[in-house]
Chains A and B, each alone.
Chain A
């Protein structure tokens, strides 16, 4: 298994440009999520999905859209990039918890985004 993969690894955008950060997992996990991490900060949840066709907002959803058309993929779209969106973006996935078993989350390697 490749686990959780993210593309691109690095991206530079100009203010106002749009782009999509890709996230894919091959573990058949139902739950997927996007976090952003700013320097010296912990991770903050942007959006998450508990299954194909179902998405919801996290702590910092403004300026981002997501969709979940398949179990494997969970792309994050920046509609009109702003310098405040300069960050490292991590995608994560896990099985849903069942029978009281707490499933762990697996994180991708991250996408480093710079918005000028």
Chain B
């Protein structure tokens, strides 16, 4: 799986949009971009994923650059409960076996301030 690079930490004011960047310059054509987050002392939680096109769901939006070498997770109106470590993961399209696994890096600690 391709390696990802994320900032160690970011701050955001409550109510503002949080934009979390991720670089994945070695991503291959079969690899999706996934975002998970981990609120303190809890298990990771899926947020969103995408391949080429921008994606939006009830939690967030995912913007993937045209060359797919980077992406941005957007939380449109951050709340204090969004304070968490956010993980950007790239992962190959279904090929079974160990490719089900998620490779977590250290992620970005997002702190939402009142």
Contact = CB atoms under 8 A, between A and B. Distances in A.
A45 B70 CA distance: 25
B17 interface: no
Instruction: Give the dominant DSSP class at B's interface.
Output: loop
Contacts of A110: 41-43
A107 B98 contact: no
Contacts, number: 68
Contact of A58 (B91, B101, B105): B101
B107 A42 contact: yes
Interface string B95-114: 01110111111110000000
Contact of A107 (B41, B43, B93, B107): B43
A74 interface: no
B45 interface: yes
Given A58-B98, A110-B42, A102 B104 contact: no
- Of the four ranges (under 10, 10 to 19, 20 to 34, 35 or more), the interface on chain A belongs to 20 to 34
Interface string A29-63: 00101010000111111001010000010100000
A107 B46 CA distance: 9
Contacts of B87: 42
Contact of A50 (B45, B100, B106): B100
A12 B59 CA distance: 37
Given A42-B106, A48-B101, 7 more contacts: A41-B106, A42-B107, A58-B98, A96-B96, A97-B94, A98-B94, A105-B46
19 contacts: A31-B100, A33-B100, A40-B106, A44-B104, A45-B102, A48-B98, A48-B101, A50-B100, A56-B98, A58-B101, A90-B43, A90-B44, A94-B100, A96-B96, A96-B100, A102-B34, A102-B93, A104-B34, A105-B46
